[in-house]
């Protein structure tokens, strides 16, 4: 976050200082404990910054974690990738191939990360014993964060324990709540946040929650709720109400050029409703994984074995490789979005030739995973050479690349609103209008009013329903951005048929065990009432 320096303040406030007999009589180095820390606006703000911190972790407890990577690799959009052994980052290989169990090495870090965020948000909500206008705002932000973390837990694990109080060690044996209880808690937090958060923030506050971010997140929650509650029309109508509020606020607009969303150095454009801030100013290294303020995906998902003569990109470690199925999904007149999301060997070679360079081998495939290699690489989190030398405090350059992560874009708001209107009691004509706004931009920069097919034309040309158009738009608009798997699960489209014809995954998918991640073995050992998987009775 831009205000990450305050994390250190909070961390120091809880340090217990040891000393030798020679200096037992010195004044305490630290005067603050949790019981007496939350006494001023500044102290509550420091606690709020700590609550924001886990939202940006791309590594935790020694393992790479990313909801973007999980959603893409778990789905039909991408394979894990990595090096030649097919065992590079085994936790991610297991996610990809549906071989994961409750001992998967990445599962517990994902789970713990979000509950750490919830714990820190609860401190901001419950600890201060005074009120002020600033504390009111900080607590509204903490409720947004608590809702965000609970929702991410639900998306990964299904109905999970709702934690809205400060737990004691005696409270450790928690159990799962029902889906309705989870979503009701999230709804309550977000409605409180909407009523207090500002419509916009200054550039110095970039990354902090706004009213629009809370409404957009609540709209997405209602979509999931409606989907998983047997197409509950009332939930889709509630989603439409919140998402319409975001549109009518006038606070957001689409960038004219879709590809510009992913260029080097762009942060917090007008299209960004909620964006996870990354920084290269923190001296991140391999000894303090949760201290990484950079975006680990940039290096992790860069092109493995890329020739050094490429004018723009450095090589990476080759994860999150787009599938042939994703590449083929793009319609012929949708090449602009395809080019912005996926790069091929031929395109890389053309880049080198146009820059006056040459390579004997453009991409050294002997370095790549032979099972997962597809001939494609993701391009939205490109490993730009410009990141090199951009680390001012001696951090590891592989960990300090500061590409922000889009959590909710305005295009997402428009497509979610279209879906909510169509599946609720709204107007299909209005829904198609929102889709067409996204499709016009997708045709390329400038005045594209005559160069794209409308939703109505797609329905006629492709023999699609309006819902088919919405699913197509969501897949190609947000490819490699972390929505695909979660969209498939909520809509009931994650099934064995989806992976038929996939030599790696065909036959591996089991709807009884693979729709949701199992809660890690370590967690169920300390909480015996916590079931590994959610059973059907919880989806009520």
**Comparison of pLDDT for 409 and 85, the residue scoring more:** 409
472-481 CB burial, b ≥16 within 10 A, e <16: bbbbbbbbbb
- Report the pLDDT averaged over residues 153-166: 97
Is 207 a residue whose pLDDT tops 90? Answer: yes
Is 409 a residue whose pLDDT tops 60? Answer: yes
Directed axis angle between helix 455-462 and helix 466-477, to 10°? 110
Is the CB of residue 301 less than 8 Å from the CB of residue 317? yes
**Comparison of pLDDT for 474 and 31, the residue scoring more:** 474
- The alpha carbon of residue 80 and the mean position of all alpha carbons in its chain are separated, in whole angstroms, by 17
What residues form DSSP beta bridges with 405? 276
pLDDT for the residue 442: 97
- Report the pLDDT averaged over residues 102-122: 97
| SS3 label, residue 138 | helix
Is the CB of residue 273 less than 8 Å from the CB of residue 217? no
> What is the C-alpha end-to-end distance of the chain, expressed in Å?
37
**Comparison of pLDDT for 220 and 506, the residue scoring more:** 220
**Comparison of pLDDT for 503 and 350, the residue scoring more:** 350
From 14-18, 89-93, 280-284, 420-424, the region with the lowest mean pLDDT: 14-18
Percentage with pLDDT > 70 across the chain: 93
Burial of 396 (0-12, 13-18, 19+ CB in 10 A): middle
Q: Give me the torsion for CA of 323, 328, 331, 335, rounded to 10°.
A: 60
- Report the pLDDT averaged over residues 289-318: 93
Q: Are strands 272-276 and 405-409 parallel, antiparallel or unpaired?
A: antiparallel
- Report the pLDDT averaged over residues 63-79: 96
Is 20 a residue whose pLDDT tops 80? Answer: no
Residues ≥6 apart with Cβ < 8 Å to 135: 41, 44, 128
- Report the pLDDT averaged over residues 131-156: 98
Is 458 a residue whose pLDDT tops 80? Answer: yes
Q: How confident is the model at residue 448 (pLDDT cuts 50, 70, 90)?
A: confident
- Report the pLDDT averaged over residues 26-49: 78
- Report the pLDDT averaged over residues 475-498: 97
pTM of the model: 0.93
Phi, psi angles (nearest 5°) of residue 81: 85, -145
**Cα–Cα dist 286/427, whole Å:** 53
**Cα–Cα dist 476/320, whole Å:** 16
Directed axis angle between helix 179-196 and helix 211-228, to 10°? 160
Q: For the domain 5-251+492-538, what is the CATH code? A: 1.25.40.390
Q: What is the pLDDT of residues 366-385, one digit of tens each?
A: 999 999 999 999 999 999 99
pLDDT for the residue 170: 80
Q: How confident is the model at residue 34 (pLDDT cuts 50, 70, 90)?
A: low
Is the CB of residue 204 less than 8 Å from the CB of residue 261? no
For the chain, what is the total number of helices (H) and then of strands (E)?
Answer: 20, 8
pLDDT for the residue 27: 43
- The mean predicted confidence, pLDDT, of the chain is 91
- Report the pLDDT averaged over residues 499-513: 90
From the list 403, 304, 404, the residue with the least C-alpha distance to 363 is: 304
Q: Give me the torsion for CA of 182, 184, 187, 192, rounded to 10°.
A: -110
The tokens describing 395, both together, are 């951090």
**Cα–Cα dist 176/534, whole Å:** 8
User: Where do the structural domains in the chain lie, given as residue ranges?
Assistant: 5-251+492-538, 290-380
| SS3 label, residue 409 | strand
C-alpha distances in angstroms, 156 versus 159, 201, 276, 442, 487? 9, 30, 19, 30, 12
**Cα–Cα dist 315/385, whole Å:** 9
From 8-22, 67-81, 279-293, 414-428, the region with the lowest mean pLDDT: 8-22
From 16-20, 289-293, 455-459, the region with the lowest mean pLDDT: 16-20
Residues ≥6 apart with Cβ < 8 Å to 47: 10, 37, 38, 120, 123, 124, 127, 138
**Cα–Cα dist 97/74, whole Å:** 8
Residues ≥6 apart with Cβ < 8 Å to 237: 420, 424, 425, 426
Is 192 a residue whose pLDDT tops 50? Answer: yes
Is 30 a residue whose pLDDT tops 90? Answer: no
In 138-249, the DSSP E strands lie at none
Q: How confident is the model at residue 293 (pLDDT cuts 50, 70, 90)?
A: confident
Q: What is the pLDDT of residues 238-279, one digit of tens each?
A: 999 999 999 999 999 999 999 999 999 999 999 999 999 998
Work out the angle at residue 312's Cα, subtended by the Cα atoms of residues 308 and 315, and round it to the nearest 5 degrees. 45
What residues form DSSP beta bridges with 343? 377
Q: How confident is the model at residue 14 (pLDDT cuts 50, 70, 90)?
A: very low
pLDDT for the residue 282: 76
**Comparison of pLDDT for 144 and 22, the residue scoring more:** 144
**Cα–Cα dist 178/158, whole Å:** 9
From 10-24, 177-191, 443-457, the region with the lowest mean pLDDT: 10-24
Is the CB of residue 430 less than 8 Å from the CB of residue 417? no
The tokens describing 223, both together, are 């979509």
Residues ≥6 apart with Cβ < 8 Å to 453: 333, 439, 461
């Amino acid at each position: 976050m831009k205000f990450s320096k305050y994390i250190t303040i909070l961390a120091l406030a809880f340090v217990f200082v040891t000393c030798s007999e020679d200096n037992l009589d010195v004044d305490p180095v630290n005067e603050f404990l949790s019981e007496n820390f939350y006494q001023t606006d500044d102290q509550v703000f420091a606690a709020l910054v700590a609550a924001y911190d886990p939202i940006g972790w791309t590594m935790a407890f020694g393992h790479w974690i990313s909801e973007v990577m999980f959603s893409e690799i778990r789905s039909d959009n991408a394979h894990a990738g990595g090096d030649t052994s097919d065992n590079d980052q085994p936790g991610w290989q297991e996610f990809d191939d549906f071989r994961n169990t409750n001992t998967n090495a990445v599962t517990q870090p994902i789970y713990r990360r979000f509950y750490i965020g919830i714990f820190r948000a609860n401190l901001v909500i419950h600890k201060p014993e005074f009120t002020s206008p600033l504390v009111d705002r900080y607590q509204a932000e903490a409720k947004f964060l608590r809702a965000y973390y609970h929702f991410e837990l639900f998306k990964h694990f299904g109905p999970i324990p709702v934690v809205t109080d400060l737990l004691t060690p005696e409270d450790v044996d928690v159990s799962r709540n029902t889906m309705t209880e989870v979503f009701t808690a999230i709804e309550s937090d977000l409605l409180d946040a909407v009523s207090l958060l500002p419509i916009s923030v200054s550039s110095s506050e970039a990354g902090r929650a706004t009213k629009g971010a809370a409404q957009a997140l609540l709209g997405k929650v209602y979509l999931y709720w409606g989907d998983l509650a047997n197409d509950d029309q009332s939930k889709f109508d509630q989603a439409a109400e919140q998402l319409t509020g975001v549109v009518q606020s006038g606070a957001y607009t689409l960038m004219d050029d879709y590809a510009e969303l992913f260029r080097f150095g762009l942060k917090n454009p007008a299209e960004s409703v909620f964006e996870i801030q990354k920084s290269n100013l923190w001296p991140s290294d391999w000894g303090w994984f949760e201290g990484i303020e950079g975006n680990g995906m940039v290096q992790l998902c860069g092109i493995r074995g890329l020739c050094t003569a490429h004018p723009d990109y450095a090589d990476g470690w080759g994860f999150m490789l787009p599938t042939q199925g994703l590449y083929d999904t793009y319609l012929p007149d949708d090449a602009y979005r395809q080019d912005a999301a996926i790069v091929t060997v031929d395109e890389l070679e053309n880049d080198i030739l146009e820059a006056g360079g040459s390579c004997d081998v453009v991409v050294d495939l002997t370095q790549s995973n032979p099972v997962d290699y597809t001939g494609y690489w993701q391009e939205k989190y490109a490993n730009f050479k410009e990141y090199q030398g951009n680390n001012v405090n001696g951090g590891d350059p592989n960990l300090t690349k500061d590409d922000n992560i889009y959590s909710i874009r305005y295009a997402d708001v428009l497509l979610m609103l279209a879906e909510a209107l169509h599946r609720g009691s709204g107007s299909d004509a209005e829904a198609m209008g929102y889709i067409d706004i996204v499709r016009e931009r997708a045709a390329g920069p400038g005045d594209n009013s005559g160069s794209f097919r409308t939703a109505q034309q797609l329905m006629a040309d492709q023999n699609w329903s309006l819902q088919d158009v919405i699913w197509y738009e969501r897949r190609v608009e947000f490819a490699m951005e972390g929505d695909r798997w979660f969209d498939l699960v909520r809509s009931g489209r994650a099934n064995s048929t989806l992976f038929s014809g996939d030599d790696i995954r065909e036959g591996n998918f089991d709807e009884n065990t693979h729709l949701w991640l199992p809660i890690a073995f370590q967690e169920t050992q300390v909480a015996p009432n916590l079931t590994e998987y959610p059973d059907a009775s919880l989806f009520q």
